[in-house]
Amino acid sequence: MKKFYSLGSCNTCQRILGQLNLGPDFELKDIKKNPITTEELVQLKALSGSYEALFSKRAMRYKELGLKEKNLSEVDFKGYILEHYTFLKRPVLVFNDTIFIGNSAKVTEAAQTALLNEK
């Protein structure tokens, strides 16, 4: 599977997309226009190891809903991600059987290296 989950309106996601220079065989998914499905999220969890790894604790709604004060379970993380696109940590790149989550320089560099090694 070759997929890039992001927000079309997110400048950081767009910058990273430009850096990665993904080929035409990648599916680009704007999670605001086309919400993530339960099946997709289960697949991402299988690659990442947990729903928490896919969950954005930087989301405005995380603070608004007071989720920091709650002890969230894996079921909670999954539910919130499916409920609202903002809870998915972005961007998420799935490249074959490897997943790259988030926008840190380290993650972006690792994704670039993986992509270059395939060519």
15-44: pLDDT as tens digits: 999 999 898 999 999 999 999 999 999 999
Please give the domain boundaries of the chain with CATH numbers for all domains: 2-104 (3.40.30.10)
The string of pLDDT tens digits covering residues 42-60 is 999 999 999 999 999 999 9
Mean pLDDT of 63-71: 94
Instruction: Tell me the pLDDT band of 3, cut-offs 50, 70 and 90.
Output: very high
As a three-state string, the secondary structure of the chain is CEEEEECCCCHHHHHHHHHHCCCCCCEEEECCCCCCCHHHHHHHHHHHCCCHHHECCCCHHHHHCCHHHCCCCHHHHHHHHHHCHHHECCCEEEECCEEEECCCHHHHHHHHHHHHHHC
Whole-number pLDDT of residue 37: 97
Q: What is the pTM of this model?
A: 0.93
